[in-house]
Amino acid sequence: MYRVARASEYLVITGSGIDDIKIAKKSWVFPGQSYSIFDISPVNYTFEVMAMSAEKLPFILPAVFTIGPRADDQESLHKYARLISSHDKQSNHMNELVKGVIEGETRVLAASMTMEQIFKGTKEFKQEVFDKVQLEMNQFGLWIYNANVKQLVDVAGHEYFSYLGQKTQMEAANQAKIDVSEAKMKGEIGAKLREGQTLQNAAKIDAETKIISTQRQGEGKKEEVKVRTEVKVFENEREAEVAEANAELAIKKAKCAKDAQVAEVEATKAVALREAELQKEVEIMNALTQTEKLKAEFLSKASVEYETKVQEANWELYRKQKAAEAILYEKEKEAEAQKAMAEATFFARQQVADGELYAKQKEAEGLVALAQAQGTYIRTLLGALGGNYGALRDYLMINGGMYQEIAKINAEAVKGLNPKISIWTGASGVGEEGDGHSGAMKEVAGVYKMLPPLFNTVHEQTGMLPPTWMGKIKDPNC
């Protein structure tokens, strides 16, 4: 049967075919196997641990631990399944187990620390307890998901933490009074200091203002003289630039007149040169025209022949290309046909192989079913015979014709020899008329009377004894 665990559960399977245990979320459970289900959701355990410091001062450590199986580690799950899963997580056994581990580790750790160390280093103390308890929990496959260690509590008659709290409160109150007095003193001194600094800064600022004012007046006069000087220099420079511009203008006018006369002469000469160049170009064109005419007459025939030869060559190339394409097409079709035949052959062989595989699988399934039926048959017979393997063996030998086969083999073995042959008759010599019993009852009585000598003969020849429920053979020596 197929079993599936819920989201927070696991299956534990043991029995036939499993060496130790098997843990799974879902699995088949076969005959000869047993299974159980355990929940891995964590559970809260609340304790008040009694401990004692190094000074022999007792105290109470309230704690809440959230503990459950470690789901992300297969080894831890195996440990939990073997050792803890058979117990309910809220049972006294689990409470005592967890409480014993936590109390033991807490007491050992507290005994090595003073009360002052425990009170001031509460965070480190809690972490130490957590780490040491986790080491012990690992051997049971348990994991501490959360540990909430509350504030340490006094034991009745030992109010250490109460007195320590009162001491802390008084120290805080006294320190507050000291802080208030110091603040008031600093305020008065600071006020006087600020007034003196204000007067000093005001006098300093007045003196600096007068110095800066005098400096600004002198710098203003310097700037006025400097500006007047720069204006005069600028006026002189502008007059010089005007004179220079007038001289350049006169020079440019003279140069322009000269250039105009030269341009007129050059224009006249350029016209004559251009006429000569045009005449030269006309003569060149006439010569080129005559040359082209001669070329056209002699080259036209050669061009026609060339074009004809080119067309013939192109036609021959086209014919050969088409022939090659036809051969290539035939080869491609042949290759495709061969490929199709190969695929068909492969498919046929694959179908035959699949058929043979299916037949072998069905034959194997038949053998498995036959073996299972024979196993069921033998278990039923063994149960009916009360678990007597000897009786089961004798029944199977009789039902399977084993004794007849033994007799046949023995007969073949003594064939041609002079074996010892026992001959007996039924009903101890009683005739057919008997003592009034019917014929059928006589036959049954005869068969039962024939069994003892038959068993003696089988025992003498094979050494085998009949089953106890059929009878016993007497020792011939007795």
Single-letter amino acid, residue 292: E
Tokens standing for 311? 């067309």
Residue 156 Rama label (left phi>0; alpha psi -120 to 50; beta) = beta
Angle, nearest 10°, between helix axes 160-384 and 389-399?
A: 30
Output the CA–CA distances (angstroms, integers) from residue 476 to 423, 468, 469, in the order listed: 17, 18, 21
The pLDDT tens digits along the chain (478 residues) read 888 888 888 888 888 888 888 888 888 888 888 888 888 888 888 877 777 777 777 777 787 888 888 888 888 888 888 888 777 777 788 888 888 888 888 888 778 877 777 767 667 777 888 888 888 888 888 888 887 777 666 666 656 666 566 666 676 667 777 777 777 777 778 778 888 788 888 878 887 887 887 777 778 777 877 888 888 888 888 887 887 888 788 788 878 877 877 877 787 878 878 887 888 888 888 778 777 777 766 666 667 777 778 888 888 888 888 888 888 888 888 888 888 888 888 888 888 888 888 888 888 888 888 888 888 888 888 888 888 888 878 788 888 788 788 888 877 776 766 555 555 555 444 444 444 445 667 777 777 677 777 777 777 777 777 777 666 766 655 5
Number of CB atoms found within 10 A of residue 32's CB:
9
Enter the pTM of the model.
0.34
